[in-house]
Structure 1
Amino acid sequence: MRDRRRGRSRIARTGEVLWQLAPFVVDFLRDRRRWVLFGRSRRLPVEAHRARARKMVDTIVRLGPAFIKLIQVFSSRADIVPEPYLSEFSRLHDAVAPVPPEQIEEIILQEMGRPVHEVFESFEREPIAAASLGQVHRARADGEEVAVKVIRPGVEALIELDLAVSFRILFFLNILFPNHHVRALTTVVREFDKRIREELDLRQEAENTEQFRQRFADDPHVRAPRVLHSFTRRRMLVTEYIRGTKVDRLHDRFAAGELSFPGLIDTLSEAYLRMMLVNGVLHADPHPGNILVEEDGTIVFLDFGMVVQVERGTRERLFRLALAAARDDVDTIINVMYEMGMIDPEISRAEIRDAAVRIMAILAQARDVEHRRLQEMVQQIFDTFYTWPLILPEELVYFFRATILLEGIGFRYDPNFNGLDAAKPVIQRMRGELLQAARKEPRDVARDLLGEAEQTLRALHDLVRRTEREELRLRAHPRDVQNLERFVSLMVRRLLLGLFAAVMAVVSTLIFVATRSWLVLIVGNAGALFLFLLVLVIPKHLLENPLRHGRTVRRSGPAVR
């Protein structure tokens, strides 16, 4: 009975989601093909896309917490989502009306086995923050002021249902419209599925917070709240209460001379570089509400529900990528991109070379042009990933998001602020530490070299064996095969249409000679003429052999002009 009820609710929810999102899906399909399945692409003004993006945000808010969190993830994926949708999605704030305090107290009772007044010395029923997944209350425990984060009732079941609906919709989209962007959407939703489950388990957030505290234990300028583990459960997290100012509300303290603006930016830049490239624990939800500044200037990071673990191998590849870009070494850049899984299997190496050259040009321009904004450079890199298309690793997505946040904070206090100029002295100062973090131990280097040598010998042995048995085969790249199939298909179509038109003209003429029926002659020749014209109006570029062109990947998102 329960399974039947769950099945009915899933069908009903699927219908509701489709009803809300179907108009936007049709609009996007019409951007690519005016009549959905055929026709030219549709060019709309930027304002039309911006208005559509605003309507999408309003619809997402109505659909509930799972879709709100998912859109927040997409708001940082400029390699998948184009402008102006990206800007509108980034304005979606995860703030909702709080649930009644009685429901929060009921969850605390279920988690602790005791009523609120027995768990805490005092508990403020009015929340200090409310988001789509949970809300935070101030309380007192063990003689100190604490922050109590509680998961909203019913949110877990709703997210489970919405994720099932999302995967079902994506399954059919992958069948009907198999392309890079649909596959990328599916990958992001799969990753979101994993992340949201971790975020709903507040014990994982407690572990993430402790890990961050340990990695930054030797840094007097950066810290995270202390966790009270005896009070922490799956749906409840208790930490020390932090008294501080949000990082975007420091005007008065700067004006009074209590804080130094360059010092704040310097500390934040160093913290994020250390997270990404040294400590390997990246705070993945960087927005001003999650960064507080205490009275003494210490920066406190809050909310570790989303944390990205940057493995040592990933950090090493990022260093190799940076060094190769500095040396204009295109081949090494491409090899590292393959190692990091940044290249879609459908894209040939020649196309990737174009993308790598484009990225190097963006970085070179950033070095040469004065007063160039960091956000502009990051956006151009995102555009490159979207256009080719490439796959942006999750770690880089959140790191770039943090760099944009830092420049946004700086620009808020100084209209002439330049993120690249601010980052240079920090990188120079941390150069030794960064190189040390990327350096491999001799034992690891030897192990890697032996592994690569073993793989090379096996590959050579297999190649010789296949050659001796005449089993060696040459394979064309899938993209080239698809292009060849399309070219042959179009040529055959043109040939058949022309042949059919000629037959129709001849047959109608023979019938006219035999019957003297002008109607048959006119209709037959008109039909033949129509088919001849149809052959002529087939776009010429579709009949050219695409194998003669180096780059065939085209941007497949909504056309914005």
Structure 2
Amino acid sequence: MSTHLFRRFVTIFRVLLPFFLAWLVSFLPLGSRAARQARAARRLREALEQLGIVFIKVGQVVGVRTDTLPPPYAAELARLQDAVRPVPIHLVKPFLEREYGRVLSELFERFDPEPLATASIGQVHRAQWRGREIVVKFLKPDTLQLLETDFELIRRMAGALRRVSGTPIWEDILTVVGRFEAGFREEADFAAERRHAIRLREILAPFPDVVVPETIDELCTPRVLALEFVDGCRIADVEAVRRIVRQPRRLLDRLVHLYAYMILCEGYYHADPHPGNFLVLPDGRLALLDFGMVQTLRVETRQALTDLVRAALRGHTDEVVEGFYRLGLVAPDTPRDQARAAIAEIGQINVLQSNTKNRIAAVGEAVERSRVRFLLPEDLAYAFRLIQMLEGVASYYQPGWNVIADGGAGIQAALEDLVSGVAARRAERRPAGDAAQAASMRLVANGARLRPAESPVRRLFQSVQAWLAPVAERLDSMAAPEVGTAERRPELSPVSNGTTAPRAQDG
């Protein structure tokens, strides 16, 4: 190990040591256990912030699962979504002036000195440019150098553990680490993020209830991204969202439909769905933010995944097992009967077990008992991470929610889009310019669900829903009241003023 890497290793150990000590103390019978846990959680969050990009992102992924973490840890790690230590304005200003070759006061009518949001890689400030409200996102200094050091250290440590242990799992871990490293590097390329934002805006244009902010191309560089400002409340702000959306369960269906559509119909998807990247607008639409992590799927993988999903929805276990082999989710030398028994048990656990912690533990025990070697192919690493994060977002409204047991409606909607050829005819259907916005707002005003415009399946179901909606809502209120959260979730730093509409929209 080089001197540079060794110094970084020592730094990581030194920064994490206060957390480990506080964590051990939290188990001692001294004073208030809650206070000791809160102290340990705060030390962990501070350590991750201090260690930088890779560690902050790990904290963000873990912190999404508010239903599996003790409350103090959930509250502290939630702050990592966008409340990371900001770069001060006296460093921001010269950086942007070098990028643009102009003084900020000459370029912008207003540039807010306080950041709107601060993340692991980038920082966002609100500004006014040519009368438009926009946001300016820039790459933090020394980002690429820190990424190089941390991933090299992770690779070396995983390689050493692989040689010592002799177990094949470390090979899988190294593959996943490589995939995440590539994702981080792409996230640090703001020119690529601009291309992702443009393409996702095009792909999702037929969805009237989805907003992808427009890029301000004149202000974009490889290290700076400028977008239109979108005003709304965070999806994690449960109280504010409930004032806009009468039935949050429909909002969860919309999220699943949206992501299933991107993955199964387009093979091109927004791969960072943590709560900070969703806004609910005052008119009930859903806005996507942060396009640094966008992934693609090969046609063969997408077809195999679609077949597996169809089989799972129909309860065809043998076809599901075949899908696992086609996708490389099971070691190819595993006997079919052994794999079938393990997959069936895991599926049953996910359907029947509503407590998330118990479900995760039960799945782990089932995998261990089965002795089946489950794998995570490189091109599916982000897709599985995405499922975990979506479940975390859903847990704000329905603790224990999971894609297998509760996401069927959204997945089925995406499959209907695939069958009806929505993706192939997207360009022919899309209105142009102002007409697109007008059509979108008419559909929202009429209570349109998250379904691409002009779909015959959508028109049929919308007609039936319009007829049955009053009856269904009445039965809902009598038989199955909305599931709420047991406690208020930690607030996140706002990216807007949180304005909400005076009337509710259907989710």
Same fold (TM over 0.5): yes
Counterparts of 2:113 and 2:178 in 1: how far apart (Å)?
36
Counterparts of 2:420 and 2:364 in 1: how far apart (Å)?
29
1:136 to 1:24, Cα distance in 2 relative to 1, 3 A:
closer
What's the counterpart of residue 432 of structure 1?
416
1:418 to 1:168, Cα distance in 2 relative to 1, 3 A:
closer
Q: What amino acid does structure 2 have at the position aligned with 1:432?
A: E
Counterparts of 2:260 and 2:293 in 1: how far apart (Å)?
18
Q: What amino acid does structure 2 have at the position aligned with 1:16?
A: T
**RCO higher in structure (CA 8 A, sep ≥6):** 2
Q: Deviations over 1:132-151 (max 9, x none)?
A: 22211011113201001111
Counterparts of 1:356 and 1:292 in 2: how far apart (Å)?
40
In the TM superposition, 1:65-464 aligns within 5 A as 65-70=53-58, 72=60, 93-94=80-81, 95-252=83-240, 254-255=242-243, 259-325=246-312, 332-344=319-331, 348-350=333-335, 353-364=337-348, 369=352, 372=354, 388-392=372-376, 393-411=380-398, 423-435=407-419
Q: What amino acid does structure 2 have at the position aligned with 1:363?
A: G
Moved more, 264-273 or 374-383: 374-383
1:379 to 1:426, Cα distance in 2 relative to 1, 3 A:
farther
SS of the residue 2:80 aligns to = coil
SS of the residue 1:93 aligns to = helix
Counterparts of 2:159 and 2:355 in 1: how far apart (Å)?
40
Q: What is the CA distance between 1:419 and its match in structure 2?
A: 6.9
TM-score of the superposed pair, with normalisation by structure 1: 0.61
Q: What amino acid does structure 2 have at the position aligned with 1:357?
A: A
Counterparts of 1:379 and 1:279 in 2: how far apart (Å)?
34
Q: What is the CA distance between 1:191 and its match in structure 2?
A: 1.2
SS of the residue 2:226 aligns to = strand
Retained in 2: the 8 A contact 1:121–1:141?
yes
Counterparts of 1:119 and 1:322 in 2: how far apart (Å)?
50
SS of the residue 2:261 aligns to = helix
Larger radius of gyration: 1
Retained in 2: the 8 A contact 1:407–1:417?
yes
Counterparts of 2:158 and 2:17 in 1: how far apart (Å)?
13
Structure 2 unaligned residues grouped into runs of 5+: 21-36, 425-507
Retained in 1: the 8 A contact 2:321–2:339?
no
SS of the residue 1:172 aligns to = helix
Counterparts of 1:327 and 1:155 in 2: how far apart (Å)?
46
SS of the residue 1:238 aligns to = strand
Q: What is the CA distance between 1:235 and its match in structure 2?
A: 1.4
Retained in 1: the 8 A contact 2:395–2:401?
no
1:208 to 1:384, Cα distance in 2 relative to 1, 3 A:
farther
Retained in 1: the 8 A contact 2:270–2:294?
yes
Retained in 2: the 8 A contact 1:366–1:377?
yes
1:254 to 1:349, Cα distance in 2 relative to 1, 3 A:
closer
Q: What is the CA distance between 1:332 and its match in structure 2?
A: 4.6
Q: What amino acid does structure 1 have at the position aligned with 2:108?
A: F
1:263 to 1:323, Cα distance in 2 relative to 1, 3 A:
closer
Structure 1 unaligned residues grouped into runs of 5+: 1-5, 26-48, 441-561
What's the counterpart of residue 39 of structure 1?
none
1:267 to 1:201, Cα distance in 2 relative to 1, 3 A:
same
Q: What amino acid does structure 1 have at the position aligned with 2:374?
A: L
Q: What is the CA distance between 1:395 and its match in structure 2?
A: 4.3
Retained in 2: the 8 A contact 1:70–1:189?
no
What's the counterpart of residue 485 of structure 1?
none
SS of the residue 1:242 aligns to = coil
Retained in 2: the 8 A contact 1:225–1:240?
yes
Greater fraction of residues in helix? 1
1:431 to 1:228, Cα distance in 2 relative to 1, 3 A:
same
Retained in 2: the 8 A contact 1:330–1:357?
no
Retained in 2: the 8 A contact 1:247–1:292?
yes
Q: What amino acid does structure 2 have at the position aligned with 1:272?
A: Y
Retained in 2: the 8 A contact 1:147–1:238?
yes
Q: What amino acid does structure 2 have at the position aligned with 1:193?
A: E
Counterparts of 2:304 and 2:167 in 1: how far apart (Å)?
28
Counterparts of 1:70 and 1:185 in 2: how far apart (Å)?
15
Retained in 1: the 8 A contact 2:5–2:153?
yes
Counterparts of 1:208 and 1:378 in 2: how far apart (Å)?
33
Counterparts of 2:366 and 2:285 in 1: how far apart (Å)?
37
Identity %: 28
Q: What amino acid does structure 1 have at the position aligned with 2:383?
A: L
RMSD: 4.1
Counterparts of 2:125 and 2:7 in 1: how far apart (Å)?
35
What's the counterpart of residue 11 of structure 2?
16
Moved more, 15-24 or 332-341: 15-24
1:19 to 1:136, Cα distance in 2 relative to 1, 3 A:
closer
Counterparts of 2:138 and 2:115 in 1: how far apart (Å)?
10
Q: What is the CA distance between 1:298 and its match in structure 2?
A: 1.1
